Amino acid sequence: MRAYFYDNKPCPDQGEERERILITAEVLADVLETGLMATRRIPETESYEEWRDYCGFILEHSPTMRSTVAEHPLWWRELARQA
């Protein structure tokens, strides 16, 4: 599944693989959003910039992530700001 998140591989239009990719995208969006929120609120972690850069990379290299976040920008507000 890595190619769907790192190599600009588009999500399949149908089938089981599509469902797996979409579920993974939602879980990954939750993780990325939580990381952005936590590191922004806890400056002592000193890793907000790294999280932001990583999130930007994922959004840039994953059509699935871009469309997932765009479909529900209120679910992932921090990510939607970066998209």
Residue 10: its pLDDT value, please?
98
At residue 8, the pLDDT reads: 98
Structure tokens at 6: 């790192």
- Confirm whether 27 is domain-assigned: no
Q: How far apart are CA 2 and CA 38, in angstroms?
A: 25
Is 57 inside a domain boundary?
yes
How many independent structural domains does the chain possess? 1
Residue type, 15: G
pLDDT of residue 11: 97
Does residue 37 sit within a domain?
Answer: yes
Give the pLDDT score at 44: 87
Please give the pLDDT value at position 2: 96
Rounded to whole angstroms, the Cα distance separating 43 from 3 reads 32
Write down the pLDDT at residue 46: 87
Domain membership of residue 81 (yes or no) is yes
Asked whether residue 41 is assigned to any structural domain, the reply reads yes
Q: 24 lies in a domain?
A: no
Report residue 1 as tokens: 């599944």
Do residues 22 and 11 touch, judged by C-beta distance below 8 A?
Answer: yes
Looking at residue 18, its pLDDT comes to 98
- Phi then psi dihedrals of residue 21, to 5 deg: -65, -45
The parts of the chain modelled with pLDDT lower than 50 are none
According to the model, what pLDDT value does residue 3 have? Answer: 98
- Domain ranges, residue 37: 33-83
In this predicted structure, what is the pLDDT of residue 81? Answer: 94
